[in-house]
A and B are shown apart, each in its own frame.
Chain A
């Protein structure tokens, strides 16, 4: 076999006697075979994620070897009828191309760039979608309130039964206050936090992923989730507990609702760019907005981790309404400042949706 075995990684067999080959195209192949196999070894190490195993001179030669193989392929296609060699060269050039043009930044490098401004720049890029999603969320809350206000039976339709334990229409003030009380100690709270995170992240990813259908399911999901909030708000305000309920909610709610807002906006962004691609094709519009929205979404997951911790610990341990409201307010101010003020990375994609989408 011409391919070196696993145990002789660095050795490359020298080709058989070039002059012995009777065909001109085979001589062409034998003359270049060593370079191809050298490239293949480098690519193999890169694919295995072990770039350290590659000698320095090999790594420096990689672009040269890649282009040599590519031009060999171009020549061989026109002069050789050796199907096996052509198949080998095509596969080799393709693999080398994936490595030469593979993802360049490591996950860590990507994260650093992401938190240092890439994320907030993407959030700023979809401001219009955020405004739409916010309007829809407010409308959803109002709808929930109005529906329950007209007919309290709506409450049971809107709120899943596992939430509506003591918090239902007609509950006494004491029973409602009881649900807002902190627990005595932190036992079991970390599990609670983890479960909340997992659940909320699911909702957020769904809101994003549904944006694919031109954003309409995303809007419905936002309205449905926020109508639940409106219905709850109605129950509590009926017993003059609006402030207590709002403070209780705001501890994690400012972060969590913000994350839901962003993920809804991200889904909407994709849906909107597919419905109104402007001068680009639908496919390129969708992929450009998809990448921007994905960055927003990665941030949402991070926000939900924080929201889960706040919900699981801070809300259950801090008792007074004003302290709760302070935590919530500080978190909201933090997010707003971060999204507005964080610098834009120099190589960040320019938003095209704002210009292309309106035309």
Chain B
């Protein structure tokens, strides 16, 4: 395993939480990674920005033609209506977008949904309407204020500007400094953002014809690997890449002292997978687990 994947794996384990549901069932949950959250907010802001821009463009096109007809002193009712709609729309875009989507059954804005995230209550209870309102009202200070501040050139305002900038950064960087990646709004509302991907159920692995007669593996040959290697083998078999399978087969044969044949990679690996899994699961039933090839066989 390369260093990068090892780091990824460590990060994943670090984000793993256990949530106890009201009926006492423990559910594994992964807190969303900081990069996924940042990606989600950038996606949402892009959607909002483009949406607003399109609307504004349409309305201004409409309003602009009317400006030319009437003079500025006498405001036409139609133009006024356009102006009202724009004002309210901007307000709604700023506050209503996140609220509406997070109150839905998916509990996620489009940006979050695209990245497989959702909002959940931290205490394992129901996500309440109040909680969603609270976490989104604070978004104003965390996201919009810094954005407008930077767009408005606030950082050029001398000492006061710098102080304001530092202060806003505290809000913006708040999720970096706690292990659950909570932003201020999450903290106040009692929510967190967790991973909620849809996983498809793949085929069962041991449906292939039983080849335990052609390939007989003894206990010593199965004892060299653990659960981690089993899962790697499972991934290789599911990907069904001939070169990878060849490579894995040669590695296994070297390890157990077999002569690697050719042309029967898949059959060999399926048989070895089934035997290894049966071996490890038998151990599991007796309370013996073997995490990977480095761990000792005895409990």
Using CB atoms and an 8 Å cutoff, list the residues of chain A in contact with chain B. 1-3, 16, 20-26, 29-30, 33, 36-37, 40, 46-49, 67, 70, 74, 78-85, 87-88, 90-95, 97-99, 101-105, 107, 110, 187-188, 190-191, 194-195, 197-198, 201-202, 205-206, 208-210, 212, 270, 283-284, 286-295, 297-298
Q: Beyond A21-B204, A21-B206, A46-B105, is A84–B234 a contact (Cβ under 8 Å)?
A: yes
Q: Are A26 and B21 in contact, CB atoms less than 8 angstroms apart?
A: no
Shortest Cβ distance from residue B139 to the other chain A in the assembled complex, whole angstroms: 8
In angstroms, how far is the closest chain B Cβ from the Cβ of A25? Answer: 6
Q: A170 to B231: give the CA distance in the assembly, Å.
A: 83
Chain A nearest Cβ from B237, distance in angstroms = 10
**Which of chain A's residues has its CB closest to B83's CB?**
A191
In the bound assembly, the distance between CA atoms of A36 and B201 in angstroms comes to 9
Name the A residues within 8 Å of B15 (CB-CB).
none
Report B186-236 residues with CB < 8 Å from chain A CB. Answer: 187-191, 196-207, 210, 212, 227, 230-231, 234-235
**A20 in complex: contacting residue of B75, B207, B284, CB < 8 Å:** B207
Taking a contact as CB atoms under 8 Å apart, the answer to whether A198 and B103 are in contact is no
Chain B positions within 8 Å of A, measured between CB atoms, are 21-23, 25, 27-29, 74-75, 77, 80, 83-84, 87-88, 90-91, 95, 103-107, 118, 120, 122-134, 137-138, 140-142, 145, 184, 187-191, 196-207, 210, 212, 227, 230-231, 234-235, 238, 274, 277-278, 280-281, 284-285
B278 with A23: CB separation less than 8 A:
yes
Contact B87 A298 (CB under 8 A): no
Nearest chain B CB to A32 CB, angstrom units? 11
22 contacts between A and B (CB under 8 A): A1-B200, A2-B203, A23-B206, A23-B278, A26-B206, A33-B201, A84-B234, A90-B27, A95-B196, A98-B196, A102-B107, A107-B103, A107-B129, A191-B87, A198-B90, A198-B91, A284-B123, A284-B190, A286-B190, A288-B190, A291-B128, A294-B133
Q: Of A47, A87, A287, which is within 8 A of B122 by CB?
A: A287
Task: Tell whether A290 pairs with B234 under 8 Å between CB atoms, given A49-B104, A88-B200.
Answer: no
Contact A287 B187 (CB under 8 A): yes
The prevalent SS among residues of A at the interface is helix
Tell me the minimal C-beta distance from A75 to chain B in angstroms.
Answer: 11
Residues on the A chain within 8 Å of B138, using CB: 209, 212
Partner of B281, one of A79, A107, A188: A79
In the complex where A94-B196, A102-B126, A295-B130 touch, is A88 in contact with B281 (Cβ < 8 A)? no
Report chain A residues within 8 Å CB of B212. Answer: 22
A292 to B197, CA, bound (A): 31
Measured between alpha carbons, how far is A67 from B230 in the docked complex, in Å? Answer: 29
Inter-subunit contact B80/A94 (CB<8 Å): no
**By CB atoms of chain B within 10 A, which of A23, A49, A90 has the most?**
A23
Complex-state Cα separation, A67 to B22, whole angstroms: 12
Could you list 16 further interchain pairs (A-B, Cβ under 8 angstroms) beyond the known A188-B75, A209-B184? Answer: A2-B201, A3-B201, A23-B205, A29-B204, A79-B281, A81-B281, A84-B202, A92-B199, A93-B25, A98-B120, A101-B125, A191-B75, A191-B83, A197-B87, A212-B138, A290-B188
